Amino acid sequence: MRIVILTGAGISAESGLGTFRDKDGLWTRYDLNEVATPEGFARNPQRVTAFYNARRANCAAAQPNAAHHALARLEAALPGQVLVVTQNVDDLHQRAGSHAVLQMHGALMSALCAACGHRWPAPAVMAVDDPCPACGQPRTRPDVVWFGEIPYHMDAIAEAIAQARIFAAIGTSGQVWPAAGFATEARRAGAQCVELNLEPSEVSHAFHTHHHGPATQIVPSWVDTLLSA
Ligand code: APR
């Protein structure tokens, strides 16, 4: 994989989906222990399901922005050479036209059966006692990776990073692991590492170059530069 691009909430901020740790970010309004941990779900599954139903509705009403479209354009120009690894659970990359997308923290638009592991397209409004289409048990949960759970696709991500010539991180604060360690991994593997973010992240030191500003401005110009090289 020639270009591996890690994205975070900042790439979807200008689509109106907000972020987690900026002022009035999601984690300033909700206690993540209550809505983004297995323990929180066990304590109050209705509250957690309602939290993700609201985020799913916001996501469905949102549109991909110029940054999502620029990454889709990059993939189309370099078939098979671009991989988006996103921490986001929204589907804006896919709706912008990106095909090679790994959602390491899961997806709002997917439902998971806590009993048998079956996945299916999430209904707009998920209820805790929705029966699983495969095993019939009423153990439905959001197909989202909560704190304390193992992110998805880690082997494929490690393999892509090991072969990356360019590693970019877009719109992520670098505060959540393992994603926060990807730049150091890529650098060690010899990749050129570039950070595109509104402001320096916690792991800015791991990158060779930095572009700071709104993603809808700095990502399209970065893609133009890549494609004119
Ligand atoms: N353009 C570019 N970057 C932006 C913009 C913007 N318009 N707006 C905000 N940002 C940047 C912020 O400066 C911040 O560094 O996006 C980053 C968002 O950081 P977080 O809110 O921490 O989001 P993220 O890094 O994706 O969080 C990682 O934490 O809660 C978990 O699972 C959740 O996937 C999430 C993970």
* Helix 215-228 and helix 66-77, axial crossing angle in degrees, nearest 10: 20
Active-site residue (options: 105, 118, 153, 212): 105
**Pocket lining for ligand 1, CB < 6 angstroms:** 8-10, 13-14, 19-22, 25, 87, 105, 171-173, 175-176, 197-199, 201, 214-215
> Please, how many CA atoms are within 13 Å of residue 207, restricted to the half-sphere of its CB?
23
Tokens of 149: 């759970």
* Segment 65-93 mean pLDDT: 98
Q: Are 107 and 91 in contact (CB under 8 A)?
A: yes
Confidence of residue 115 (pLDDT cuts 50, 70, 90): very high
7 strand-pairing partners? 86, 170
Share of the chain above pLDDT 90, in %: 98
Cα–Cα distance for residue pair 59/122, rounded to 1 Å? 13
Helix (H, G, I), strand (E, B) or coil at 50: helix
> Residue written as tokens 């002022």?
23
Taking the complete model, does pTM exceed 0.75, yes or no? Answer: yes
Q: Are 193 and 183 in contact (CB under 8 A)?
A: yes
Indicate the Cα dihedral angle 184, 165, 21, 211, nearest 10°. Answer: 110
Indicate the Cα dihedral angle 214, 177, 96, 198, nearest 10°. Answer: 0
pLDDT of residue 119: 98
Residue pLDDT, tens place only, 19-58: 999 998 999 999 999 999 999 999 999 999 999 999 999 9
Confidence of residue 229 (pLDDT cuts 50, 70, 90): confident
First vs last C-alpha separation in the chain: 18
Residue pLDDT, tens place only, 116-166: 999 999 999 999 999 999 999 999 999 999 999 999 999 999 999 999 999
195 strand-pairing partners? 169, 210
Residue pLDDT, tens place only, 4-30: 999 999 999 999 998 999 998 999 999
Cα–Cα distance for residue pair 228/89, rounded to 1 Å? 31
Pocket-testing residue among 24, 102, 197, 212, ligand 1, by greatest number of atoms within 8 A of Cβ: 197
Indicate if 105 belongs to the active site. yes
**Any idea what DSSP says for residue 62?**
-
Residues 6+ apart with CB under 8 A from 29: none
Residue ranges and CATH numbers for the domains of the chain are 1-17+65-105+151-229 (3.40.50.1220), 19-61+109-144 (3.30.1600.10)
Residue 194 has pLDDT above 90, yes or no: yes
CA angle 70, 93, 158 (to 5 degrees): 100
Residue 142: closest CA among 121, 161, 157: 121
pLDDT of residue 201: 97
Cα-to-centroid distance, 175 and ligand 1 (Å)? 9
